[in-house]
Amino acid sequence: MFKHLLAALAGTVMVLAGSARAEIDPNYRMVLLTENFPPYNMAINGKNFAQEDNIDGIAVDIIREMFKRAGIQYNMTLRFPWDRIYKLALEKPGYGVFVAARLPEREALFKWVGPIGPDDWVLLGKADSSITLNSLDDAKQYKVGAYKGDAIAEHLVEKGLEPITALRDTENAKKLMAGQIDLWATGDPAGRYLAKQEGISGLKTILRFDSAELYLALNKEVPDEVVQKLQAELDKMRSEGFVDDILNNYL
């Protein structure tokens, strides 16, 4: 009987320990990093460094609400370049980066919360462009501009293209209009939004070649209970129509 009592007590302790692990430490704080990637995330002043309330955009509004509902503390910073903040999120516990395309080659590198929004991949040309393409292979004969370190640029290289990369995607819009590149590989709606900010409109979609879903990518050391809580709150926000309302506000 004594052995049975010990076994029962041990089982109770294990259950309590499991419950304790499932609770999120109220003092737990995350560091969230992002970049200028309108309309999903952007500095209000247009510069390449901003913090907290000086950042806005579709993803920013969604993530703020998600963390608020989950009761998880965070600091948010917008920095440049993407390569740097991506590496920080990859290496530092408690860090996250957004918005990141969830690709097969990235799947095991992070814990993911999302999707936050879509990101179609397109080749844009000037309004009067006579270029016609049936596939990415057809684009190999043209000068294609892309954003350095971006998933789209990486995809082009994998497909055998040699994109001319820029440190800011807005530079590609200007280069396209100046005739320095023939095609601009970018996201849609992000590319059109960026071009509009530069006073450029009427760009033609020459080829829509892929699409990705955009996520909050979290360092693998972030506790599973944090990831699960954030995902649950995002799912509720989507079912309530909150996510669609935010998308419509910007687009």
**Residue keyed to tokens 């408690």:** 94
Whether residue 5 is predicted with pLDDT greater than 80 in this model: the reply is: no
Instruction: Give yes or no: residues 72 and 191 share one domain.
Output: no
Residue 34: domain span: 27-117+213-250
Q: What whole-number distance in Å separates Cα of residue 85 and Cα of residue 88?
A: 5
Instruction: Give yes or no: residues 184 and 227 share one domain.
Output: no
Instruction: Give the type of residue at 25.
Output: D
Q: What whole-number distance in Å separates Cα of residue 124 and Cα of residue 137?
A: 15
Q: What whole-number distance in Å separates Cα of residue 121 and Cα of residue 163?
A: 14
Whether residue 241 is predicted with pLDDT greater than 80 in this model: the reply is: yes
Contact 55, 41 (CB under 8 A): yes
Instruction: Give yes or no: residues 110 and 225 share one domain.
Output: yes
Instruction: Give yes or no: residues 128 and 66 share one domain.
Output: no
Instruction: Give the type of residue at 141.
Output: Q
For 59: left if phi > 0, alpha if psi spans -120 to 50, otherwise beta; the answer is: alpha
What is the predicted pLDDT for the residue at 249?
Answer: 83
What is the predicted pLDDT for the residue at 19?
Answer: 39
Instruction: Give yes or no: residues 171 and 192 share one domain.
Output: yes
- % of the chain with per-residue pLDDT over 70: 91
Instruction: Give yes or no: residues 191 and 219 share one domain.
Output: no
Instruction: Give yes or no: residues 153 and 49 share one domain.
Output: no
Per-residue pLDDT, averaged over 225-236, amounts to: 98
Per-residue pLDDT, averaged over 65-82, amounts to: 97
Instruction: Give yes or no: residues 80 and 103 share one domain.
Output: yes
Per-residue pLDDT, averaged over 20-47, amounts to: 88
Q: Angle, nearest 10°, between helix axes 242-250 and 58-70?
A: 150
What is the predicted pLDDT for the residue at 151?
Answer: 87
Model confidence pTM above 0.85: no
Q: Single out the residue of 203, 179, 177, 180 nearest to residue 190, CA to CA.
A: 203
What is the predicted pLDDT for the residue at 251?
Answer: 65
pLDDT in tens, 128-153: 999 999 999 999 999 999 999 888 99
pLDDT in tens, 85-139: 999 999 999 999 999 999 899 999 999 999 999 889 999 999 999 999 999 999 9
What is the predicted pLDDT for the residue at 146?
Answer: 98
Q: What whole-number distance in Å separates Cα of residue 197 and Cα of residue 203?
A: 13
Instruction: Give yes or no: residues 40 and 89 share one domain.
Output: yes
Based on the structure, what is the number of domains in the chain? 2
Instruction: Give yes or no: residues 82 and 164 share one domain.
Output: no
Instruction: Give yes or no: residues 87 and 161 share one domain.
Output: no
Contact 58, 40 (CB under 8 A): yes
Q: How many DSSP H helices and E strands does the chain contain? A: 8, 11
DSSP letter for each residue of 8-60: HHHHHHHHHHHHHHHSPPTT-EEEEEE--BTTTBEETTSSS-EEGGGEESHHH
Whether residue 2 is predicted with pLDDT greater than 80 in this model: the reply is: no
What is the predicted pLDDT for the residue at 189?
Answer: 84
- % of the chain with per-residue pLDDT over 90: 78
Cβ-proximal residues to 71 (8 Å cutoff; 6+ apart), any chain: 24, 26
Q: Identify whether 16 is part of a domain.
A: no
Whether residue 156 is predicted with pLDDT greater than 70 in this model: the reply is: yes
Whether residue 16 is predicted with pLDDT greater than 50 in this model: the reply is: no
Per-residue pLDDT, averaged over 199-215, amounts to: 93
CATH number where 161 lies: 3.40.190.10
Whether residue 9 is predicted with pLDDT greater than 50 in this model: the reply is: no
Contact 23, 48 (CB under 8 A): no
Measured distance between the N- and C-terminal CA atoms of the chain, rounded to whole angstroms: 69
Q: Angle, nearest 10°, between helix axes 190-197 and 169-177?
A: 70
Mean pLDDT, the chain, integer: 91
What is the predicted pLDDT for the residue at 96?
Answer: 98
Per-residue pLDDT, averaged over 36-45, amounts to: 92
pLDDT in tens, 159-199: 999 999 999 999 999 999 999 999 999 998 889 888 988 99
